[in-house]
Structure 1
Amino acid sequence: MALKPKISLRQTQRLSLTPTLRQSLNILALPMTELITAIHDEAAENPMLKLETQHEGTFSGGRSAYDVATETVATTVSLGESLHQQITLMRLDDVVRSIAFYLIGDLDENGYLTSDTDDTVKALGLERSIVERAISAIQSCDPPGVGAKNLTECIFLQMIEAGIDDERARLIAKHLDLIAAEDWPILLRKTQLSEVEVHELVTLVRGLTPFPAARFWQEERPGSPEIRIERDASGQHRVALTSGMVPEITIDVDLLTRSKKEPGAREFAARCQARADSLISAVRFRNKTLLRISNLIVRHQHPFFSGRADHLIPLTRAEIAHQLSLHASTVGRAMAGKYLEWSGLVYPLSFFTSSTLGAESGLRTSAYSAQQMIRRLVERETADTILSDEKIVKKLNADGVDITRRTVAKYRGCMNIPSSFERRRQMTARRTRPGSPGSVNFVKQ
């Protein structure tokens, strides 16, 4: 039976990454200093843009906004800037390059890609192969491991960069749990590799990092605060954007009016006006989003802003997104590289969000609060009461903190606190170290 050809019409809705949408997302992700540069660059090319310097705001201690910026502005290239520069030099299709730039905004501070590929494909209405090529472009950048979706992929990418073939790299990266447990017999059986190969690969893995963007933490200096938190006479906290740094953007109405009267300039003026309107809209959206997120943070972290500086209530970016009816990636872009000033100190917005402990038991503790509890336990130690990680776990569990020994070890490492063995050795050395002639040794008990 022959099939007759049929012609049918189907209407679908697709969200494409238009230049306007791309600009809005890029502006949202820019830190203050990069935003100022972007505004001035656009004004240099667009005669319809009119920039006006705002009145300079003041910060705690009488410092001007300009002073704070010059003291805190980052002098090194950020992870985002580095990736932008590398991708710009790649031979990619324009669409793939645009998606790669878009996805850079979805990287967390460790360099991991937080957005789901399926969600990105659905949101942008693109073919999956295009999104995957953009992800591959990011993953081919330096530092090795950047753009990974999880630890397994992060280690795999670093092994490939180190020259390990694809098959063996996948075998080892898939069994990181066995390496951590040092279960060599099972690892040998599951990988079917020789002892020599396993030894070489495990030695390599132990020299790799689960935090590919770590060097950018070490190089990055605090940025300029764009949010200021103040307490009014009634004790309420007020959230405001800092002024005096970002110029006010308007359209030069006089020039626009004159241009429309000249036939040869009308089309050019219309294009410039559209670009100016797009930039103004993007900056307004950025400011509005920052204020909404900051207000929510201040309400949620009320104990912190009320003087309990070591206490943070668990708060995730997903929770912020849900409460503000925003996409999680929008919240991530808005918070990346943004800072607020409170009581004379500058904090990154990401400081107020953290992973949560004890979610399953219902007793939630922020990772930051747990770290401070560990620090206080260690600070109270004496030479005879050094706490092992296991003992720290038991004390925290008794206080209602659901935490494992591995997590304690991880947090201890983040705070540069040595192991119990090393702390005992250091304290013993201080007690037995001979003093200089005529001096007296004091032992802190």
Structure 2
Amino acid sequence: MANVLHIEILQRLDSVLSKQEILNCVQNTINTGRITPGQCIQTFEDPVCRENIESIIVSEVSEEDTKNLDMNKIDVQYHVYRLDVDGPQTETMGPDSGDGDEIPASTHWILPSYDLHGLWESLVYDFSVKQNLLDFVETTLLFSDHGVNTNFISWNRVVLLHGPPGTGKTSLCRALAQKLSIRLGHRYSHGELIEVNSHSLFSKWFSESGKLVMKMFMEIRELLENPRALVFVLIDEVESLTHARQSSLMGTEPSDSIRVVNALLTQIDQLRRFPNAIILTTSNITDAIDLAFVDRADIKQYIGPPSLFAIYKIYHSCISELQRTGIVDNKDSVMSLRLLQLSSFDENDRTQLSLQLLEVARQSIGLSGRTLRKIPFLAHAYFLHTTQVSLEKFIDAMKRTVTKNVTDCESFKRSESK
């Protein structure tokens, strides 16, 4: 919310202090009046904080909220958490008949996870996209806590992110689950993310797929029986489930495909009674999604290619990371987008490199978020052969890499069309 600032405190794994002791330490040593939204604090003067805290992340706020932000009046909420370091576990499943090998039906994460740490902050969209998703879950909890009768007001706890490939839909789902597991740590002991392998589950055995769907969701409901667990079910490329039913109706696929999708929709409906269940789905091909599923989605959010300013923010974060690691020297720096806007984009010695990066961002319009994150790596691989490089040379290498990427893509398309 606009009047809330979240401060997320990552406790070291070897720390023996309680959450309350960590919180007291932070509140005694950090002046909230001097905290900057979006800031990541990794160095501490206080020895207790230094020995027990890995980092502190301050939530972002929109640019409009930043202008009117009064840190002395804002509601500051603290969240102390540790990361699970075991990584994702593969859950296998096979037909009841016992014939054939088991398949990787899903991937199971315990949240917050080390593998997903910082993912939310690395994803750059219009501010409202991420905030709307957080607000959606907050409202589902509010309505559930107050016992709102679902016969009068309906919600399914289903999110559908759709758009072209490479725009970060799956990453955003994972990051949302991670972020909510942190923000709701006062309410739930941990989060669990079940990432369904839809391609394997729904295509291995047509005669058994409907039963496999029910079997998998029975296991998910067992997790949901623990009220202290916040459970996320991620179905990536959900159109792969519903396209089969459309084909079946046209007589081109076995009728069992219809039973598979019907079973999935039934199981989703049954999860409505669990206030600790959130279903996250993605799709690259919206035309192929079954309308019965679309109707169940509370939020249908389009995730498109990054805008010019989003691209600049992505490149800015990449350069900051390379300067942190020493690959790009930090004698010079690029300005944040907000500072560049405040300068009215006037060119001078202070803004010159930032404007050059903005021009690289302009040339990158149309590239997917996945491709944009590769540009700094490819820039070094193609054009730089030193362990450390100046910022000016690195930005020039990025510009050359973007030009090469565009040329290579055009050549690929021409060869594909022949």
TM bracket (short chain): under 0.3
Give the structure-2-normalised TM-score.
0.28
Indicate the structure with greater helix content: 1
Give the structure-1-normalised TM-score.
0.26
Indicate the structure with greater strand content: 2
Name which structure has the greater RCO, CA cutoff 8 Å, separation 6+: 1
